[in-house]
Amino acid sequence: DAGITQSPRHKVTETGTPVTLRCHQTENHRYMYWYRQDPGHGLRLIHYSYGVKDTDKGEVSDGYSVSRSKTEDFLLTLESATSSQTSVYFCAISAGPLNEQFFGPGTRLTVL
């Protein structure tokens, strides 16, 4: 157990509203990641962080922003949610010499 929690676990929102998802870790890992998982697409990287206030874009970053003001928290924000952002979102940390990743339980987001 890598001590990763995500909140909320489920959320239903309407198109155009802002949404923030939170990832919290308890073990002081430097690298944190946000992925989305969709049928037919697998896991795709949205953004990642390599330290406090150090973030970079992943494969599908359009429409998403992130912030990391503390080592333990990595926030993912949808500024104006769209139906195409309906997905399951996973947070992960990297905890091994070969970038082995450990995932949180996921957040199921539905945008109506």
Residues making contact with another protein (CB under 8 A)? 31, 33, 35, 40-45, 48, 50, 56, 58-59, 90, 92, 94, 96, 98-106
Cβ–Cβ < 8 Å for 66, 76? yes
Distance CA 79, CA 50 (A): 22
How near is the Cβ of 93 to another protein at its closest, in Å? 11
How near is the Cβ of 38 to another protein at its closest, in Å? 10
Residue 34 or 75 with smaller CB distance to another protein? 34
Strand-pair partners of 57: 47
Strand 107-111 and strand 10-13: the pairing is: parallel
